[in-house]
């Protein structure tokens, strides 16, 4: 009887025991059912144990899904008495090899973005060339277009070389451990980056193919008007020249 009275008095009394410590943990999924059930079960077990204990009763954990069991040192006198100890899980820093790889991936993504931007300019220039009636303007647009196409070609060649270099470096690095976490991460990221590059270049080829078709149709109509007996070779030659020679005076 004395023990129980002492325990109950300690639970109600002011200033009893040191400040309460509370452990706060970051959960991957807040309110996981199994964790809540476990805490409630522990709470019930603790209440049974407190009946014959000289210590103050455990704090109520019912519903505390996202809080670890609190240390049994009595309730706090105020919020100021609560000491939060944050449990942090530090991720292991990437190796020097992977850090360099991540930097390469970032660089390739930036270059592919630049190619996308240039492709937009290419489409605008192609549309202007197809509809332009001025020989001088058409020539200017064509020269600018050729410059943009060279830029895309050079960047694409550069990216292709980087992707091949990444693959070769990985094969040498992970030759003895192809199933390691780093090897899998490298393979997944490199594969995704390669597919993205293929997608970008596929879009570029489609733009070129559509442009050439529209340009050929326009030039063919002009050639037929100027020379109804024009051969396919003459039409193709005019298309390759951008149709400039068939346009009106600048």
Q: What would the pLDDT profile of 149-183 be if each residue is shown by its tens digit?
A: 999 999 999 999 999 999 999 999 999 999 999 99
Residue 174 or residue 83, greater confidence: 174
> To the nearest whole number, what is the mean pLDDT of the chain?
73
Rounded mean pLDDT of 56-83? 43
Rounded mean pLDDT of 225-232? 85
Rounded mean pLDDT of 198-209? 95
Give the separation between CA 229 and CA 234, rounded to whole angstroms.
10
Q: Is 243 left (phi over 0), alpha (psi -120 to 50) or beta?
A: left
Asked if 162 and 112 touch (Cβ cutoff 8 Å), the reply is: no
Would you say residue 16 has pLDDT above 80? Answer: no
Rounded mean pLDDT of 108-126? 96
Please report, rounded to a whole number, the percentage of residues in the chain having pLDDT higher than 90: 42
Tell me what pLDDT residue 232 has: 84
Q: Calculate Rg over the CA atoms of the chain.
A: 36
Q: How confident is the model at residue 23 (pLDDT cuts 50, 70, 90)?
A: very low
Q: CA-based diameter of the chain, in Å?
A: 119
Tell me what pLDDT residue 50 has: 53
Would you say residue 210 has pLDDT above 60? Answer: yes
Question: Rounded to whole angstroms, what are the CA distances from 84 to 8, 75, 76?
Answer: 26, 14, 13
Tell me what pLDDT residue 242 has: 56
Q: How confident is the model at residue 17 (pLDDT cuts 50, 70, 90)?
A: very low
């Amino acid at each position: 009887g004395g023990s129980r009275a002492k325990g109950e008095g300690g639970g109600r009394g002011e200033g009893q025991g040191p400040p309460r410590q509370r452990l706060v943990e970051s959960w991957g999924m807040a309110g996981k059912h199994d964790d809540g059930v476990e805490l409630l079960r522990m709470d019930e077990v603790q209440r049974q144990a407190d009946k014959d204990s000289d210590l103050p009763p455990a704090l109520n954990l019912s519903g505390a899904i996202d809080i670890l069991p609190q240390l049994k040192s009595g309730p706090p006198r105020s919020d100021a008495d609560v000491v939060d100890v944050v449990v942090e899980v530090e991720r292991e820093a990437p190796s020097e090899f992977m850090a360099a790889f991540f930097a390469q991936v970032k660089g390739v993504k930036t270059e592919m973005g630049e190619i996308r931007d240039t492709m937009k300019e290419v489409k605008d220039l192609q549309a202007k060339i197809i509809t332009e009636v001025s020989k001088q303007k058409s020539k200017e647009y064509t020269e600018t277009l050729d410059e943009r196409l060279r830029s895309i070609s050079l960047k694409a060649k550069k990216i292709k070389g980087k992707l091949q270099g990444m693959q070769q470096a990985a094969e040498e690095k992970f030759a003895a451990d192809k199933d390691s976490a780093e090897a899998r991460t490298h393979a997944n990221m490199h594969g995704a980056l390669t597919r993205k590059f293929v997608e970008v270049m596929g879009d570029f080829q489609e733009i070129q193919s559509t442009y050439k078709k529209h340009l050929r149709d326009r030039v063919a109509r002009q050639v037929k008007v100027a020379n109804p007996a024009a051969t396919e070779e003459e039409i193709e030659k005019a298309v390759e020249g951008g149709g400039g020679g068939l346009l009106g005076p600048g």
